[in-house]
Structure 1
Amino acid sequence: MATRVSYPVELKMKAIEMRLAEIPVKEVMDQLGIRNKTQIETWMRWYRKGELNRLEQPVGKQYSYGRGPEHTTELEKVKAENRFLKQQLDLPKKVQGTGKEVEAEVVIAWVESIRKEVTISEACAWLGIARATYYRWKTTCESKHPDPMVEKVAQLCTQHKFRYGYRKITALLRIEGPINHKRVQRIMQCEDLQCRVRMKKRKNMGQPAKPAEHLLKRKFYAEAPFQKLVTDITYLPFGNKMLYLSSILDLYNGEIVAYSIADKQDTSLVLDTLDQLPERTNMLLHSDQGSVYTSQVYQTVIKGKGITMSMSRKGTPADNAPIESFHSTLKSETFYLEDLRCTTTAIVEQTVRDYITYYNLIRIQAKLNNQSPINFRRLAA
């Protein structure tokens, strides 16, 4: 454990003067032997706030040093003793005692009346009670007497038929006087006075079917074409209107074997893509748990084609990483690279079609021995 270092006041003032002269922190630390630059930052903050008394506080003392019963000079100590004697004379007799002789409500009222003059710790020392006792009494008394602000908040909420949230209720209350918005929010939450928000309208996506099991298990390789396929839908927000790309990728060589572009993300989009697949047996098609893939219509067509369906686990896009990576590559190497972020719908569609042709026929991949997907399939055959 590191030893805490206490620096003299003269050294602290010297560091402040050097920083005011715009001498770098590193040079100040080297010249004065200061270990940590945060020490200098703290001293400068105290200096700017006019809290030079804090430069004299010992190591480990908190920000209240110099404000409570501890005093830095003999004059301050004498002044504090005079205040103590004066308060002892002014205190009612029923407050002067301790234990059962002290009435909590009277103590709280008296302490609150002198809050601007002394700290609570000093007031409690004059009374001979602990701070914890004072706060316990205060909490008990506040629980006995209901907060009048609760009634005001409830009245305003009812008056405006619960159309206002805590911000507008706070604005109305501040017409009469200052009040913290957090207090209003807390009252409205505890008293169930929140704004009656509109009911959220949800689009009916049809009756979903039961999601399929995660059969792919992130084994993104295949020994033959059309053995394992992955599919997904991505947004194309680069034209006059939003377009959607549904594509199917073969894990054998990374080839895009089917794709469709439409302006609606519905079941017909994925069915159009599915219809482009050849008739094969023992084919595994993996997707996420999107509503179009879990729909009854899609699953019925999948079973009719004899395709085994696999789905990612919920909230786990990494289970479908290859097709996610392709969609990211497509956008990065076309729309972002060529700065086509605001163009026509026709250009967006043509850009996607041209890139998929380039991706399948020309673009080489290191994992395919620097061959394009189609060339790799042809050489392997």
Structure 2
Amino acid sequence: MSRKGHTAEFKRTVLDAYENQGYSLSEIQRKYGVHDTTLVYWRKIVDKYGVEGLKGTSHNKTYTKEMKLAAISDYLSGNYSQRDVIEKHGISSTSVLRKWMKDYNGHREIKGQSEGMSRSMTKGRKTTWQERIEIVQDALANHKDYHKTAIANQVSYQQVYQWVRKYETGGWDALKDRRGRSKTEKELSPEEKMKLEIRRIEKENERLRAENAFFKKVRGDRKGAVITRVRLENRYLAIQQLYEEENFSIMLLCEIAKVARASYYKWLNRTPTDEDKLNETLLEEMENLHQKVNGIYGYRRMTMNLERQFDRPFNHKRIYRLMNIAGIQAVIRRKKKRYSKSTPQHVADNLLNRDFTASKPNEKWVTDVTEFKYGMSKKAYLSAILDLFDGSIVSYKICTSNNNPLVFDTLKQALETSSDAKPLIHSDRGYQYTSPGFKYLIDNAGMKHSMSRVGRCIDNGPMESFWGTLKCEKYYLHQKDYHTYEALVEAIEEYIQFYNYERYQKRLNSLSPMEYRAKAA
């Protein structure tokens, strides 16, 4: 039997059996079906309010917002049980307290109740358009005191509140009663049907756009990262950003995100906790330390330094998580990526066969891709084509990705510079050179393709020699100066210009490659 089914007479009978007839708690439970905690609660009611307290109340009790929050705070402190809390604050039952806790944990607003407001919200009445206008004017004149206005005009609190909202949104016409029978589809004119269809399509498109944008944000396209531990914060951040950038409806975004609108606003107005503030401070210190040691610290050594600096222990997983959020990573002993072996789509024989001499320009070309590092362990890639006749760089391309377009654009640039040339071009067996796209470019230009043997880098010796010269004479001497991609590109372009036009070579009769090429022409 539930608590609400127990009459005052039944309660007195059970208490009498326990106190005067010598029944134990277990016997009371078996005979009357009453739990021992319930029996103890009834005894406390009698001690506090007398026998009349067992009758309960015939109407719902009202509680203020402050009292609800005080009860929730007491329970969350861990010093009180649910029974202790309801006895301390005079709450009718533990189920009422549990409902408040559920609302609080669900980020719903804790609202208070008052007897005066409950009287003004009991029942509304029918009103005319003119009456609604006068009531709204009265509410605005009283600084939106809905309670006072409702009592003065004998309407409900909710009616006054809704009328004021409608007036602020749509003016006085919004207060008209537009209720009534809607037209059936047969009664609609073609223009009305068209308007309804357009409105439906617009709403559907708006929702599809919002869904597409929202899930992109949640998947990680959103800039910035979460350093707090608030549940569903990724969704709240996505809603906030889409509302500010795309002007989507908050209600629509909350529906897509499957979160309550009140929960979103509670998160929006939340005060950062001490742990959130500490995370912000840790991020600043980690970035400073990362710069100070030139990026050689991983999360373990970073944890040790922060523990000494703040004089308190930190979990290494927390430091690891914050480093990932800030994009901080050690530049030494990084885990190497494992690449799966792939079968080349196009393979050519070693037609060059280490014959690195040429009798005329554009007879034999060699090509390759090399890697450079700049900034904090960022990478750039240089693709170049070298003419074996004079050792000049025919064309080159620099990019932040080692992909097919890098190699293809280098070859296209060389063919544009020497449109009539049909040389033998030699490369290694990199995936760009074995791709169908590179083979198509070569066949289309009427060129022959030669490839190095597997594990024989000396088969492409002249190109490897140029990489060594470039890095020794330029890159390694000023490596610390290349903080940005632009600085690195400028240095490479400057050296290739110097190499082609100003760097004299003994094997070229003390001429630069371009001078030697010009004399041959």
- TM-score under structure 1 length normalisation: 0.45
Larger C-alpha radius of gyration, 1 or 2? Answer: 2
| Greater relative contact order (Cα < 8 A, sep 6+) | 1
